[in-house]
Amino acid sequence: MWYSGRVQRRFHYARSDRDHTLLEGFHAWKHAVRFGAGIKWAVTDDAAALTSLAHQLAPDLTEHVGSVEEVPADGFRSLTPTPPDSHVIALAERRAHSWDTLSAREGRAVVLDHPRSPHNVGAVIRVAAACGIAGVVVLGEVDPWHPSVVRGAAGLQFAVPVLQLDTLPATDRPLIALHEVGTPLPEATIPENALLIFGNERRGISNELRSRAAQTISIPMQEGVSSLNLATSVAVVVYS
């Protein structure tokens, strides 16, 4: 069968491959194509259904459906642990960015300090792309190009620069730390070139980064409410 052997192994290997990523589902594939990703291989279990979906949700991509190979349903389902219901899985080249390139971009950027959840990181990237943020820096072990993150971001890693680092380099850009104790967001003045730092879902921002921050801000919340989801916090701040 077409899906045995080399092809199946290639898709499985992409889950840990640092040069490629998997696009699982229509929205991830749609955004990757729309923002010029290098698609190496795309497959569908139902070409007619995928064409109909493109007509409904992304008419600009209808012509690209022709490059998606139709394969048997059992082979399609074997390519990923979580096969999508939206009839497309693709293999794409990651887009590389350096710290120097990202930090030179105009506008605010988001820094995530050792986040724990790949799904939260994906949701943050989705918010950042929608808002037109200059970039997203992920400190720590969560790979922003892991297929779970790409799925959560709906493939919008191709719309906004994303970068994984161990630590945040020295920079002339002002660091603004989000913390439960700080200047209330409505009263804060955030520079246009700020790096907005959001902490780990449990521990918050590290002491090292807090000590480097030019300003600490907080999101006002009703008494008794202790926190917001990471992506929600990012959305509140970047759209303020």
The structural domain count of the chain equals 2
Distance CA 183, CA 186 (A): 8
Whether 122 and 69 share a structural domain: no
Indicate if 231 and 132 belong to the same structural domain.
yes
Structure tokens at 229: 């989801």
The band of 11, judged by pLDDT with boundaries at 50, 70 and 90, is confident
Tell me what pLDDT residue 138 has. Answer: 98
Q: Among 65, 93, 121, give the residue marking a domain's end.
A: 93
* Per-residue pLDDT reduced to its tens digit, 148-204: 999 999 999 999 999 999 999 999 999 999 998 899 999 999 999 999 999 987 788
Q: What is the CATH number of the domain that holds 225?
A: 3.40.1280.10
Among residues 69, 93, 117, which one ends one of the domains?
A: 93
Same domain, 11 and 64: yes
Residue 5's pLDDT is 64
Query: 124 and 32, same structural domain?
Result: no
- In contact, 142 and 121? CB cutoff 8 Å: yes
Question: Mind listing the pLDDT tens digit for each residue in 82-122?
Answer: 889 999 999 999 999 999 999 999 999 999 999 999 999 99
Whether 226 contacts 202, CB under 8 Å: no
Co-location of 44 and 127 in the same domain? no
C-alpha angle 25/28/32, rounded to 5°? Answer: 135
- Token output for 220: 């006002």
- In 3D space, the residue among 135, 73, 127, 125 whose CA is nearest the CA of residue 103 turns out to be 135
Higher pLDDT, 223 or 137: 137
Residue 3 pLDDT exceeds 70: no
The three state secondary structure string of 32-66 is: HHHCCCCEEEEEECCHHHHHHHHHHHCHHHHHHHH
Do 123 and 89 belong together in one domain? Answer: no
User: Can you give the pLDDT at residue 15?
Assistant: 78
Domain range for 16 = 6-93
Statement to judge: residues 163 and 85 lie in one domain: no
Whether residue 85 is found in the same domain as residue 199: no
Give the end of a domain, one of 59, 93, 127. Answer: 93
Q: In what order do the strands lie in the sheet with 39-44?
A: 20-24, 89-93, 39-44, 69-70
Query: How many Å apart are CA 191 and CA 97, to the nearest integer?
Result: 23
Query: Is 1 contained in some domain?
Result: no
Specify whether 84 is located in the same domain as 149: no
